[in-house]
A and B are shown apart, each in its own frame.
Chain A
Amino acid sequence: MKLKTVLYITGIIFIILITSLIVYIIYTQNKITNAFDTENRPYKHYIGYIDQDKALLNDKYELCNKGRLVHTYSSASLDAYAGSKKHFRDAVNTTFNNKTNYTDSGYLNFRFLVNCEGNAGWFEIIEMNLDLKETPLNKNMVDDLFKFTSNSKHWDIVSYNEKPYNYYMYISYRIENGKVTEIIP
């Protein structure tokens, strides 16, 4: 009799715990679903999202791993430069700074993706003045730096546990009187 009672109470407690767990899971799932529901909300995509249908050079390469991206939080930064950023900076000096005579000043940003084979594509361009306000820059200058930046030889393959991934990257050129004076990141 006592054993029956113990089993009965244990069973009730077990059912309550399981029910609570199910309710909690459903509540949490709904909460997350609602939080990420973008209908009638101002932000339709995460910050930094690149619309691959509208991006430049979007048909040259394929993304690997079903399009999964890494480094969307703040770009691959220094890991992205092939060799090192020193190589990249040297290449900017030899192929752009020492060979062009532009006079514009401003910031020119490229946001893009690099696939698991180290091929760069899916570019978005932001042209700004030195006060960070969107302003058109000299078209030929932008084209030159776009051609340079989209050259895949400048970008490394980024891997985790020896598996290569697609990654997000941005480059910001600070340009003063037609010369790149700073490269970020």
Chain B
Amino acid sequence: MEKLQKLSLSILLTIILFSCKEHSKLSKKERRTLAEKTYNEAIQYRQGSTAFQNGIVDALTIDPEYEQAVHELSVAHLKRGMPHKWLPQYNKAVALDSVNRIPWRGYLYLWFYRDYKKAIADFDASDTLTPDFIDAPQGHSVDYWRGIAYLGLKDYKNSIAYFEKHITKETKEFGEDYVDLNAFLYNGIAYFESGNIEKALYNFNTQLKYANNLSADAKYYKAKILISKNKKKEALKYINEAIYDYEIGYNNKRDYVETLRQLYYKDLLELKTIITAL
């Protein structure tokens, strides 16, 4: 078995050496095809593993301008808390495909580094790069992401403006029921924090309408609004429902990192204590 492994390794190395010599003779299209094949084999392994990373390096040896591979080499660093290694590699992908990678970088600045200003700068840059098209990194328009980023900065005027723009556009093109529920939630939070209670209530109610009346977050904020209206009994009803929704998993959260204005069980219990004491 050991001999067989050594033999296989020798054959493979010979092939690699032979291939290296041949790369320069390949056309651009042939190089890309071979790089894609090598890349696709590499990504069969766990993201960030040595086989994954080194395999992608092999793909880039064949075609250094293969943007997808350049980008993928950065991703594990992002997820594992190594931004000093993520950013230089990611920016190499930006140099090859700024149209796609700049709005994506904005999304990553927003969630993985909570750098709202850099995120907004990238979302704004995408407007210039694609003036006739609203980019949508990770499935949401840059207007939606800008709404969140401005909320992070507590710039409610801009936050609300971008959420309203996003909601209006989505409603016009696909219908209100198509709009992401969190757009209503975050728009509601922006209105709530800026003191516009009625608009906040409208957005929380709209979220609940399309969420089968299940959202710990919307009900938590509604309970707060009801407190301000001296409606203790209704506030208590909503916070109890919020606690129930939270317990069955209907609260705003995201993969990998905490979401903006994420609520915890303790937040709900604290509000219930306040309401009970009124």
Interface residue ranges, A against B (CB under 8 Å): 26, 30, 32-38, 41-48, 72-75, 77-78, 83-87, 107, 109, 111, 126, 128, 130, 132-134, 168, 170-172, 174, 181-185
Tell me which of A47, A86, A130, A170 contacts B53 (CB under 8 A): A47
Give B246 Cβ to nearest chain A Cβ, in Å. Answer: 12
Q: List 29 A-B contacts (CB under 8 A).
A: A30-B8, A35-B41, A35-B45, A35-B51, A36-B49, A37-B9, A43-B53, A44-B50, A45-B50, A46-B46, A46-B76, A47-B48, A47-B82, A73-B47, A73-B79, A73-B80, A75-B80, A77-B257, A107-B113, A126-B84, A128-B83, A132-B83, A132-B86, A132-B87, A168-B80, A170-B81, A172-B83, A185-B256, A185-B257
Flag B1-43 by CB within 8 Å of A: 1 or 0 each.
1001100110010000000000000000000000000000110
Q: With A38-B50, A43-B57 known to touch, is A132 a contact of B80 (CB < 8 Å)? A: no
Check B54 against A47 for contact (C-beta < 8 Å). no
How far in angstroms is the closest Cβ of chain A from B206? 27
A184 x B51 contact (CB < 8 A): no
| Contact present for B48 and A35 (CB under 8 Å) | no
Cα A171 to Cα B57 with chains together (Å): 28
In the complex, the chain A residue whose C-beta lies closest to that of B11 is A30
In the assembled complex, the Cα of A38 lies from the Cα of B1 at a distance in Å of 20
- In the complex, are the beta carbons of A35 and B55 less than 8 A apart? yes
Q: How far is the CA of A74 from the CA of B50 in the complex (A)?
A: 16
Query: In the docked arrangement, what's the CA distance between A134 and B86, Å?
Result: 12
Contacts of A74 on B, CB cut-off 8 Å? 79-80, 256
- Are B257 and A85 closer than 8 Å at their CB atoms? no
- B interface majority secondary structure: helix
Q: What separation, in Å, do the CA atoms of A73 and B256 have in the docked complex? A: 10
Return chain B residues, CB-CB under 8 Å to A34. 8-9, 12
CA distance A93 to B1 in the complex (A): 60
| B79 neighbours in A (Cβ, 8 Å) | 73-75
CB contacts under 8 Å to A, within B243-273, are 253, 256-258, 262, 264-267
The reply to whether the CB of B114 lies closer than 8 angstroms to some CB of chain A is yes
Bound-complex Cα distance A87 to B55 (A): 42
Contact residues in B for A184 (Cβ distance below 8 Å): 81, 112-114, 257-258
Tell me whether A33 and B5 are in contact (CB under 8 A): yes
Task: From A86, A109, A168, give the contact of B267 (CB < 8 A).
Answer: A86
CB proximity of A129 to chain B, nearest CB, Å: 10
A174 touches B114 (CB 8 A): yes
Cβ distance A105 to chain B, nearest Cβ, rounded Å? 12
Number of residue pairs A-B, CB distance < 8 angstroms? 126
Chain B contact residue count (CB 8 A cutoff): 42
Q: List the B side residues contacting A168 at CB < 8 Å.
A: 80
Q: How far is the CB of A124 from chain B (nearest CB, A)?
A: 9
A77 to B262 CA separation, bound complex (whole angstroms): 14
Question: Is A32's CB under 8 angstroms from B113's CB?
Answer: no
**How far, in whole Å, are A120 and B57 apart by their CA atoms in the complex?**
34
User: Could you mark each residue 64-91 of chain B with 1 if its beta carbon is under 8 Å from any beta carbon of chain A, else 0?
Assistant: 0000000000001101111110110000
Determine which of A30, A32, A84 lies in contact with B265 in the assembled complex, contact meaning CB atoms within 8 Å: A84
**By the criterion CB–CB under 8 Å, are A47 and B76 in contact?**
yes
Asked, given contacts A30-B8, A130-B115, A174-B114, whether A84 binds B266 with beta carbons under 8 Å apart, the answer is yes
User: Do B5 and A48 touch across chains, with their CB atoms under 8 A apart?
Assistant: no
Q: Which residue of B lies closest to A72 (CB)?
A: B80
List of A residues within 8 angstroms of B77 by Cβ: 47
Query: What chain A residues lie within 8 Å of B47 (beta carbons)?
Result: 73
How far apart sit A168 and B82, CA to CA, in the bound complex (Å)?
13
Contact between chains at B84 and A46 (CB < 8 Å) = no
A117 to B18, CA, bound (A): 52
Which B-chain residue is minimally distant from A44 (CB atoms)? B50
Contact: B256 with A77, CB < 8 Å? Answer: yes
